[in-house]
Structure 1
Amino acid sequence: MQSEGPFPGVLDMYGTGGGLPEYRACLLSAHGFVVLALAYYGYQDLPKDMRKLQLEYFEEASTFLRTHPKVAGPGIGVIGASKSGDLALLLATFTPGISAVVSINGCNAVAVFPITYKGTVFPGLIGDSSKVTVMKSGVADIRDTLNNPLEGENQKSLIPIEQADCRFLFLVSEDDRNWNSPFFAEEAVKRLKAHGKDNFEKVVYPMAGHYLEPPYFPHCTASLHMLVGMPVAWGGEAKSHAMAQIDMWERIDAFLKEHLGTGKHCSSAKL
């Protein structure tokens, strides 16, 4: 007989594609988690783009999930992929009740668009379109377009994750062509270490591309980028990418169970 709970809670977010992807949330829920798949633009009455994002919206979602009677406390987990990776880091840094954060090919700075919180504006790290290269296939390579967050005024976009009271799992594709996620993850780890923190794990997957999805999802090598307005390369080699997705899922499942205190209520993983 299945348990009535409570169960560990997870807030699940995706990137610049917008809308409401729910497949990862559905899979996690089958493994004993209460999951809120959170859309934040391009869905129903939400903003049409990311130009006016407010962290209060994400905080409200986090509080709703954390205080749900079926959710075990005291804190919840957050999964962010690509653009929502920095949203997950911001949420853990500035709002209470986050115990575990999974960042999948995210950025250690606020990427592209600014976000506000309680009247403070966190500027977005912008890119240089002149660095875009177009391959013979007509697909763009945008890996190096985002500015270095460690240089000059760009440092204002860095997220002070050392303030967060949670565990971090950074999952990184070595051949990410969307942006330099290995560099961003390494700098996030360096920042934590510099502040005497050891609350992190970092896993780098050689020859994996940007879109790390649940196991057995097809490898997406290129597709239309909503912000660029043309097809871009995501990187990766098919077999290596597939193996990375299998390993990643096992790590996410174990990480969340360890740091959210699953107890006897969480079902065992079968995928």
Structure 2
Amino acid sequence: EGIQYLLGHPRVRKPFVGIIGVSKGGELALLISSLCHQVERGQCDYLLIHAGDDQQLPPTLTERLCKRLRDHHKSNYRLLVYPGAGHLLEPAHTPHFYATYQALLCKCCPFCSDLQKKMN
């Protein structure tokens, strides 16, 4: 319904509608996009951007996603990994704090290993 609304808007360049997610929102963007029949049929491209030193969501998760795409004979993706970058890649000068509390893990997790060294 939301996609149809956007496609019907006069200021949207049809048929180009994208979904963007940051952090857990990246996973949610993929899940939401899977409900769209154009995505299910493989009629879209994926740009996957990951921080190489992400201590929250390791790059191996995105690499596993790429493997699944390859296993299903999909090549409509591009993976960019930024070595040494921590969890949040946006905007400049973030994160404004060294770590975040992960309730699931019951501990504080730094955004990258450089920050972890500074915390200790």
TM exceeds 0.5? yes
* Count of matched residue pairs: 112
Which of 48, 51, 57 is equivalent to 1:170?
48
Counterpart for residue 208 of structure 1: 85
Counterpart for residue 219 of structure 1: 94
**Structure 1 residue 174 displacement after superposition:** 1.2
The Cα offsets for residues 151-182 of structure 1, whole Å up to 9 and x where unpaired, read as xxxxxxxxxxx7542101111111101122x1
**Structure 1 residue 190 displacement after superposition:** 0.9
Contact 2:87 2:111 in 1 (8 A): yes
Q: Distance in 1 between matches of 2:29 and 2:111?
A: 22
**Structure 1 residue 210 displacement after superposition:** 0.5
- RMSD across aligned C-alpha pairs, in angstroms? 2.5
Higher helix share: 2
4+ aligned runs moved over 6 Å, structure 1: none
Counterpart for residue 5 of structure 2: 64
Counterpart for residue 80 of structure 1: 21
Q: Which runs of 5+ in 2 are unaligned?
A: 116-120
**Structure 1 residue 77 displacement after superposition:** 1.1
The Cα offsets for residues 109-130 of structure 1, whole Å up to 9 and x where unpaired, read as xxxxxxxxxxxxxxxxxxxxxx
Q: Distance in 2 between matches of 1:91 and 1:208?
A: 27
Q: What is the identity, as a one-letter code, of the residue corresponding to 1:174? A: G
Q: Distance in 1 between matches of 2:107 and 2:2?
A: 32
Map residues 91-110 of structure 1 onto 2, 5 A cutoff.
91-96=32-37
Structure 1 residues 62, 222: closer, same or farther in 2, change over 3 A?
Answer: farther
Structure 1 residues 196, 224: closer, same or farther in 2, change over 3 A?
Answer: closer
Pick 1 or 2: higher relative contact order, CA cutoff 8 A, min separation 6. 2
Q: What is the identity, as a one-letter code, of the residue corresponding to 2:17? A: I
Q: Distance in 2 between matches of 1:222 and 1:66?
A: 40
Q: Distance in 1 between matches of 2:2 and 2:32?
A: 11
**Structure 1 residue 72 displacement after superposition:** 1.3
Which of 66, 75, 90 is equivalent to 2:31?
90
TM-score (norm 2): 0.77
Q: Distance in 2 between matches of 1:187 and 1:89?
A: 14
Structure 1 residues 61, 169: closer, same or farther in 2, change over 3 A?
Answer: same
The Cα offsets for residues 42-83 of structure 1, whole Å up to 9 and x where unpaired, read as xxxxxxxxxxxxxxxxxx433322221111111301111111
Contact 2:50 2:62 in 1 (8 A): yes
Aligned-pair identity (%) = 34
Q: Distance in 1 between matches of 2:18 and 2:85?
A: 24
